[in-house]
Structure 1
């Protein structure tokens, strides 16, 4: 599972993670989150993808990095 709170995306945006959910058809763990900018629509992303490292500007960095607890 993923810790709820504020995360920074590797491209700069901040997101609030509400928690985890389980896909009803295949039991895949999903992360439920929304951006702290724009229309703040809710999103889900597979936990494995949320936590993975991505190559950005020649370096391997976390896709999302935990920043702090949500207020």
Structure 2
């Protein structure tokens, strides 16, 4: 059985397309109570984004993205991978 993945608040994540983001918090939809991840891009204008938690934690569709180098849409990373931002 696969271990449940958890979101690390203030953790740095790499998107499968290569950009980096920091998770700001978890938010809840006012009507459905569905969980959303609030995250900030670590490039450009540092925009704030919102994505359904299930989608944030989802596996990559390798049929659609056969060249993906990671298993999940977003993967927790350490800050040493951010050297390219300097």
Please give the root-mean-square deviation of Cα atoms over the aligned residues, in Å: 1.8
Aligned pair count reads 69
The answer for unaligned runs of 5 or more in structure 1 is none
Question: TM-score, length-normalised on structure 2?
Answer: 0.71
- After alignment, is 49-58 or 27-36 more displaced? 49-58
Greater helix share, 1 or 2? 2
Greater relative CO (CA pairs within 8 A, separation 6+): 1
Post-superposition Cα deviations, 1:10-50, rounded to whole Å, max 9, x if no partner, equal: 01000010121111111000000011001111111000000
Report what 2:8 is aligned to: 3
Greater strand share, 1 or 2? 1
The answer for unaligned runs of 5 or more in structure 2 is 1-5, 80-86
